[in-house]
Amino acid sequence: MKKKLRVSVVGATGMVGREILRLLMDRRFPMSDLTLFSSKRSAGTGVEVAGELVSVELLKESSFLENTDLALCSAGKAVSQLVRSWVQGTKVVVVDNSSAFRMDPEVPLVVPEVNPQDLRGHKNYIANPNCSTIQLVVALKPLNDAFGLKRVVVSTYQSVSGAGQKGMNELSTQVQDLFSGKTIHIDHFPQRIAFNCIPHIGTFGDNGYTDEEMKMTNECRKMLGIPDLKVSCTAVRVPVFSCHSESVMIEFQRKASVAGIREILAKAPGVLVADEPEKGIYPTPAAAVETPDVHIGRIRPDISGKNAFHMWVVSDNLWKGAALNAVQIAEQLLKDKLL
Amino acid sequence: MKKKLRVSVVGATGMVGREILRLLMDRRFPMSDLTLFSSKRSAGTGVEVAGELVSVELLKESSFLENTDLALCSAGKAVSQLVRSWVQGTKVVVVDNSSAFRMDPEVPLVVPEVNPQDLRGHKNYIANPNCSTIQLVVALKPLNDAFGLKRVVVSTYQSVSGAGQKGMNELSTQVQDLFSGKTIHIDHFPQRIAFNCIPHIGTFGDNGYTDEEMKMTNECRKMLGIPDLKVSCTAVRVPVFSCHSESVMIEFQRKASVAGIREILAKAPGVLVADEPEKGIYPTPAAAVETPDVHIGRIRPDISGKNAFHMWVVSDNLWKGAALNAVQIAEQLLKDKLL
């Protein structure tokens, strides 16, 4: 009989939390108990899980520790900092979707298709990478193994669901207000997002990059185990509800070809090659919604570079970019008897 | 007294045509007569010019040639081919917004800030470049003069008005139909454009690039006079009504710096540097609508490259990317006594 776990979802009423619940049920994750936690704002409400309304508890140390073997946490950095302090020295294992501890050398940062080995020897706290990084690194890993990465330049087209329910609502509301001639309110994004592109996600650092852009660089380096990997990113918010797209230029160390890249990616776990452009087959955010894969197409030589290639990489930022990857980390822990 | 011209606008009822009319009036282009031409579909209708309704004539060789010293033509490739055949051997000068003759070595391809000298010795037919190319080359020219371009990699975020009124309508209609739960119709773009990104503008060629992407390469080479300039482009349609954005990576031959680039661009004609990101100042399509400039910001070193830099370039594709540049070509012809 499979080991059954008491699972807690922290941030169960958020966009990622709800997808985690759905994926735990859909993928029949072995659970003996499921406890939903949230902040004061949502505690006492209910969330539908597999057709039943499950009540949401206020997150408190005692009830959390008493009810949890494994926690999937998606409630922001501050909550993660609290939860980590609670679980230190306990046997409770946490998979954390926030950015709080991703770069902590004691915390494995894992995409199961990329670096499952980093889960070994975990100290009961594991970080889920940033959404835009996950889909990129799923594409980069097999290509690095085959050809050696020399340099990666990424421009992102990121959906508003990356900013949670508030981001989704702001796009909807602004679109409706624009169409009805009302005053536009900007509350959540730094500029109007309806029918606009905003080259500003997160906060700007001294080097002119946002923290969102630097996550791409730093998290790729950590997961691929290449501390000086050359990756640069321009992160742009676009008026799309779900799924992030990325225009990616890769230079390789060893001789690569379009056919070779397609062959490698077609065999790569978690990748769906959609690359027959002349038939209208290429990835789009609309086509990737609620799919588990990283969709890759528009693979072609970079006519401006040497041994350089372009590709277009799309994935559901709430699924592979967040909830699905968190659940897959938990599945990997079980599979490797690390839980 | 200034020379006054009999001006014809071909495609006067289209999106670019209407902006040409508006800019001719706003900029007080010296005209003795203004004749509006269109296809059968719109002939007989009227267009408002400076508050007055001007009737639109069906485009015919005889009335066109009889009424025209200068024609601004924005009615697609087929009409341009016809018009060019009519004006050969006449004194009628045409500024053509279509892509029909841009790469013809006998036809100057001109952005007045970049290569006004190419107008000298024109054979009464001048091409206006592609929208996404114009805004890029305005940025590249002064930087090439200062530092020498080695390589340029561009990812575009192109608005639907680049596909004309039909593109604008399709985005509006799809958004409304999605919000009201109706069936979505896809007529003009290859995929749904509402809340989506489509990495497919134009038609795919044998090298995996679209013709839209290759225009960027070929037209930059022609205008900068560097036949082997290394430029590659990924062209993406985004759900924005007006203004194209571009994420641009540039490698230079000679040592450059962010401060040096900003200084060069701040002095460059047609450029507006908007680059104080920590104050929320950077270009966006919403902020560039109906402005004449190429807005440039997010200027920073490429942390993955050597002597490489990133910037974010936004301009109104109907203005500098089309109508305004066409009118500026006409103004330059007058100024240089080439008309």
pLDDT attached to residue B55: 96
A232 with B299: Cβ contact below 8 A: no
**Could you tell me how many residues make up chain A?**
339
pLDDT attached to residue A3: 75
Distance from CA of B230 to the nearest CA of A (A): 4
Which chain B residue is nearest to residue A313, measuring alpha carbons?
B199
pLDDT digits (tens, 9 = 90+) for B101-155: 999 999 999 999 999 999 999 999 999 999 999 999 999 999 999 999 999 999 9
Please say if the pLDDT value at position B17 is more than 90. Answer: yes
Enumerate residues 6+ apart whose C-beta is below 8 A from A335: none
Per-residue pLDDT in tens (0 to 9) along chain A, 339 residues: 467 899 999 999 999 999 999 999 999 999 999 999 999 989 999 999 989 999 999 999 999 999 999 999 999 999 999 999 999 999 999 999 999 999 999 999 999 999 999 999 999 999 999 999 999 999 999 999 999 999 999 999 999 999 999 999 999 999 999 999 999 999 999 999 999 999 999 999 999 999 999 999 999 999 999 999 999 999 999 999 999 999 999 999 999 999 999 999 999 999 999 999 999 999 999 999 999 999 999 999 999 999 999 999 999 999 999 999 999 999 999 999 999
State the Rg of chain A over Cα.
20
Please indicate whether residue A188 or residue B1 has the higher confidence score (pLDDT): A188
pLDDT attached to residue B2: 61
Can you point out the beta strands (E) in A108-243? 125-127, 149-157, 231-234
For residue A157, the chain B residues in CB contact (below 8 A) are 157, 197, 236, 238
For residue B287, the chain A residues in CB contact (below 8 A) are 191
Please say if the pLDDT value at position B261 is more than 60. Answer: yes
State the complex-level ipTM. 0.97
Query: A-B interface: how many C-beta pairs under 8 angstroms?
Result: 176
Distance from CA of A312 to the nearest CA of B (A): 8
For residue A245, the chain B residues in CB contact (below 8 A) are 197, 199, 236
B240 with A301: Cβ contact below 8 A: no
For the residues of B90-151, what is the DSSP string, one character each? SS-EEEE-SSTTTT-TTS-B--TTT-GGGGTT--SEEE---HHHHHHHHHHHHHHHHH-EEE
Beta bridge partners of B36: B9, B56
Distance from CA of B27 to the nearest CA of A (A): 28
Centre a 10 Å sphere on the Cβ of residue B182 and count the other Cβ atoms it contains: 11
The residues of A carrying an active-site annotation are 131, 244
Which one of A136, A189, A215, A238 makes the best mutation probe of the B interface by having the most chain B beta carbons within 10 Å? Answer: A238
| Count of helices and strands (H, E) across chain A | 9, 13
Which chain A residue is nearest to residue B197, measuring alpha carbons?
A284
For the residues of A164-190, what is the DSSP string, one character each? HHHHHHHHHHHHHHHHTTPPP--SSSS
Which chain B residue is nearest to residue A149, measuring alpha carbons?
B304
For residue A215, the chain B residues in CB contact (below 8 A) are none
**Domain covering B133-316: architecture:** 2-Layer Sandwich (3.30)
Please say if the pLDDT value at position B1 is more than 90. Answer: no
Distance from CA of A300 to the nearest CA of B (A): 6
Interatomic CA distance for residues A249 and A261, integer angstroms: 13
Query: Mean pLDDT, to the nearest integer, of B222-251?
Result: 98
| Predicted model pTM | 0.97
Average the pLDDT over each of A159-168, B40-49, B92-101, B288-297 and give the range with the smallest value.
B40-49
CATH superfamily for domain A133-317: Dihydrodipicolinate Reductase; domain 2 (3.30.360.10)
Integer CA distances (angstroms), A325 to A34, A50, A133, A224, B141, in order: 19, 20, 12, 16, 45
Enclosing H/E stretch for B286: helix B285-288
pLDDT digits (tens, 9 = 90+) for B307-334: 999 999 999 999 999 999 999 999 999 9
The residues of B carrying an active-site annotation are 131, 244
pLDDT attached to residue A1: 46
Nearest to B277 among A192, A200, A278 (CB): A200
A312 with B234: Cβ contact below 8 A: yes
Q: B308-315 and B294-301 as β-strands: parallel, antiparallel, unpaired? A: antiparallel
Q: A244-252 and A149-157 as β-strands: parallel, antiparallel, unpaired? A: antiparallel
Indicate the CATH number of B5-129+322-335 among 3.40.190.10, 3.30.2320.20, 3.40.50.970, 3.40.50.720.
3.40.50.720
Residue B3 binned pLDDT confidence (cut-offs 50, 70, 90): confident
Domain ranges, ordered by start, for chain B: 5-129+322-335, 133-316
A195 with B283: Cβ contact below 8 A: no
For residue A312, the chain B residues in CB contact (below 8 A) are 199, 234, 236
For residue A167, the chain B residues in CB contact (below 8 A) are none
pLDDT attached to residue A2: 61
